[in-house]
Amino acid sequence: MTETTLPPITTTIDARGSFCPGPLMELIRGMKESEVGDVLAVLSTDKGSKTDIPKWIGKAGHNLIGVFARDGYDEIIVEKVR
């Protein structure tokens, strides 16, 4: 999926400045509070997030829409599937 075809973001989790496992824990909390079909964006400056979060998403059965490098942080976009 390209950035021009991204679905609308339902919730943005700004975890910039948080270190492992903070961004992942914030995403897990956000997933618990969201509905199936919601799209969450995690903003993270922690370099491990761009590998740790996609691994968790696969194990948890959700959909990784994309990981995008931004100016000084990564944006990880996830769809809640179940």
The Cβ of residue 49 has, within 10 Å, a number of other Cβ atoms equal to: 25
Q: 79 catalytic, yes or no?
A: no
The one catalytic residue among 1, 20, 25, 81? 20
Q: Which of 6, 1, 46 is nearest to 26 (CA)?
A: 46
Distances from the Cα of 15 to the Cαs of 5, 23, 62, 69, 78, in angstroms? 24, 5, 20, 15, 15
Active site residues: 20
